[in-house]
Structure 1
Amino acid sequence: MRLASHPLWLVGFRPFFTLACMAGLILPPVWALIFGGQLAAPDIPFGAIQWHAHEMFFGFGWAVLGGFLLTSTKNWVGIRGYHGPALLLLAAAWLVERLAMSFGGHWPQPLFLVANNLFLGSIVAMLLWTLIRHHQRDSYRDNAFFLVMLPAFIVAKTLMLTGGDFTAGTTMAIGLFRLAFLVMLERTLTQFMKAAFQAEILRQPKLDMAIKLLGLVLVVEFLLPRPLAAAIALALAVLLGIRLCFWKPQLALRRIDIGIMYIGYLVIVLQLLVDALGHLTNLVWVGSLSVHLFTVGAMGCVIPAMIIRIAKGHTGRKVVFAGGDRLVLIIMLATLFFRIGLPQLFPAGYLGWIYLSACTWALAYGLLAWRTIPLLMQPRIDGREH
């Protein structure tokens, strides 16, 4: 099949980072127009807010996470990994899910359910197969966390959409993405700081494991008594804060490509503190502060830096953040302020801040797409296959 032999299908990050860039460009402005009443809500059997949350977590978010894990897992266990027709079919399933989530309200229910679950079910099964079949060659013992996390994403999706508890599903999705980010940041920042500054950062196995275990418990935060959930969130925030102090942030912030990942790490700490406070008080923030701290502050800011780095490094190019790459990150930092800071300072202008942050998010991901997708469409420049 000639299509399946195109460079786009050589390795998982290529098609799914492409789809993530396009989703990042399209989804936030569409949601802003729906939220403001300028665009009709999608034709689906649940509410517009459920649609928005699902598409950002399981459309945009899983395009990124899927591309990252399809690429990383093959490296962790030392195999060729999924490519060609397998990736083409996965990408097609992702696109079918987007169609179902926007226009499938009158589809026969069995067809809607298949279309809405085929992508996540397939990619989770494929990733689990890789990790379980080749576990003896796995270079990371703590990949056992992924054996729990991956199927749990299916539970979160089900809770979010199908007669379960939308709030519980959202909380579970955030907890799972947060744990995935903590694992990713723990591994990558160690490498990035050493490469950029020849600096070693603290890696204390007991501390690292305690952080991941607490993160895993918070995946089911909605099942815990509120005081206990607050205590665990606070404990995780404290441990992350302590570790951050030993990770040389004053050095990392000299370079925006690494500094923005530290900012994403710090936002996770702030989100945990807001969560803990929310369990103990009746304080009301404007605009689902906890959710958007994570989605805009952690996911929105860290993801572009990772996409740029992986797209360049894994296509044989030198990982250098040029002016356009740095501009993407600057725009995302501005988006964080527009979406989180301004609504708290000037709540009367909330709808305007939604529009503004959606536009700047789309601008950043549009620029990211323009700079990155051409790299993903070409063979590696160093002559290697993948």
Structure 2
Amino acid sequence: MAAILEFRHMSRQSVFLSLGFRPFFLGAAAHAALLLPLWLALYALGVHLPLRFEPLVWHAHEMVFGYTGAVIAGFLLTAIPNWTGRAPLTGVPLGLLFASWLAGRLALALGSTFGPLASLVDIAFPVLLAIWVWREILSSSYRNGTLVGAMVTFFALANAGFHVQYAIGGGYVTGYRAGLLAIAVLISIIGGRIVPAFTRNWLVAHGAKEQPRVSPRLDHLVIATTVLALAVWLAQPYGIAAAVLLAAAAAVQSWRLAGWRGFATREEPLLFVLHAGYAWIPLALTLLALAAVFPAVPATTALHALTAGAIGTMTIAVMSRASLGHTGHPLTADRRLTACYVLVGAGALLRVAAPWLPVGYVTAVSVSGLVWAAGFLGFLVRFAPSWLSPRA
């Protein structure tokens, strides 16, 4: 009881650095809410900023390595201590890691001033995160996190590769695709653990007899097929080989998702959004397969199904559930939070459909980006007080 009372009287600063989800989810939400409107000002209005990259390259990097990197950090810094039984990263070390992430965002936004130094600043954060992940895994008896550690390491290497490729020749797509590979596999691994588990708990609590279908063999098949398909896509995104493997990965992903009984959870948006977010993975793989062989399907459509759709929806779903649970609030979505889910999902759908909408491409992209960002702005307003306050 004394410890609880002491915690309740912690300063706001110490509360903010008491667990990784607090600073990193706050940073991620703020970044998502600001990134799209700022990008649209650059894209549609011709606003100038002293960026490290061209505006399109900066937008691609910050969606994958800036925003998603913060979500990955916040989730793993909170989840890994539960997996390993080790103490979480808190206080000054956590603050320094968060400062490293924030420095990367500022360095790239002002990169023409700092030159190559901006890239070095940005490369540091995911490398530091990967080092921490491996330290925690190897210092415990928990070995189920090995693949997660490998993907975080690959994510860090992809970010470094993005910068190196750009510095050498001005390109970026290999590092960008590699980052997407790492994220898609992480969603497949972690989603495969938490979505059926949370669904089972909810269905049992509501007296349902049928439970989610879970098969370790199917899980392994999903991960192996997805890794193989995206590895081939990384090497050669066009052609029949990539199309066949991506379609196969989409099929096994869809089969696994169908067994999780997501439609039965539609009465609880906090849970249903996890299923909806994961559904973007097989959809994105399908669109990537089509784009590999049919020029009528733009590659950017498939990429935004993966970024705005899968990453956007799945991350807001995971962040909201983790934030509610770790701040002592009921695990249910109120109307404001549900509206945030709808906005992010609608923004993603509009962005994927943008090439075919009758309003003009620039207008469609602008509207979709503002709708998507509005969802994260609402999410930021909804949870910022919880991230800055002691557990309820």
Asked if Structure 1 and Structure 2 have the same fold, meaning a TM-score greater than 0.5 normalized by the shorter chain, the answer is yes
Aligned mate of 1:89, from 92, 96, 102: 96
Q: Deviations over 1:61-101 (max 9, x none)?
A: 11111100111111110111111111100111111111110
Which range moves more in the overlay, 323-332 or 219-228? 219-228
Shift of 1:252: 2.7
Corresponding residue of 1:147: 149
Contact 2:225 2:249 in 1 (8 A): yes
Q: Any stretches of 5+ residues in structure 2 without a counterpart?
A: 1-9, 205-209
Contact 1:9 1:87 in 2 (8 A): yes
3-state DSSP class of the match of 2:360?
Answer: helix
Q: Deviations over 1:267-326 (max 9, x none)?
A: 2111111111222333342x7101100111111112222222111101122212111111
Contact 2:32 2:67 in 1 (8 A): yes
Q: Deviations over 1:333-375 (max 9, x none)?
A: 22123222243232x5111112212221222111111110110
Aligned mate of 1:56, from 60, 63, 66: 63
Structure 1 length normalisation: TM-score? Answer: 0.90
| Structure 1 segment 222-261 matched on structure 2, within 5 A | 222-223=234-235, 226-261=239-274
Aligned mate of 2:30, from 22, 25, 35: 22
Contact 1:201 1:248 in 2 (8 A): yes
Corresponding residue of 1:72: 79
Structure 2 length normalisation: TM-score? Answer: 0.89
Which range moves more in the overlay, 356-365 or 211-220? 211-220
Corresponding residue of 2:365: 354
Instruction: Name the aligned partner's letter for residue 370 of structure 2.
Output: C
3-state DSSP class of the match of 1:329?
Answer: helix
**Counterpart Cα distance in 1 of 2:185 and 2:202:** 25
Instruction: Name the aligned partner's letter for residue 289 of structure 1.
Output: T
**Counterpart Cα distance in 2 of 1:201 and 1:297:** 24
Corresponding residue of 1:201: 212
Aligned mate of 1:43, from 48, 51, 57: 51
Shift of 1:149: 0.9
**Counterpart Cα distance in 2 of 1:281 and 1:322:** 42
Instruction: Name the aligned partner's letter for residue 48 of structure 2.
Output: A
Identical positions, percent? 25
Which range moves more in the overlay, 220-229 or 16-25? 220-229
Q: Deviations over 1:225-245 (max 9, x none)?
A: 843322221111111111222
Shift of 1:108: 5.5
Q: Any stretches of 5+ residues in structure 1 without a counterpart?
A: 382-386
State whether structure 2 residue 226 is matched by structure 1 residue 215.
yes
Aligned mate of 2:292, from 257, 264, 279: 279
Corresponding residue of 1:32: 40
**Counterpart Cα distance in 2 of 1:244 and 1:108:** 45
Q: Deviations over 1:122-158 (max 9, x none)?
A: 1111112111221x1x1xx542212321221122113
Aligned mate of 1:363, from 370, 374, 392: 374
Off by >4 Å, runs of 4+ in structure 1: 2-5
Cα RMSD over matched residues?
2.0
Instruction: Name the aligned partner's letter for residue 32 of structure 1.
Output: L
Corresponding residue of 1:384: none
Corresponding residue of 1:373: 384
**Counterpart Cα distance in 1 of 2:118 and 2:163:** 12
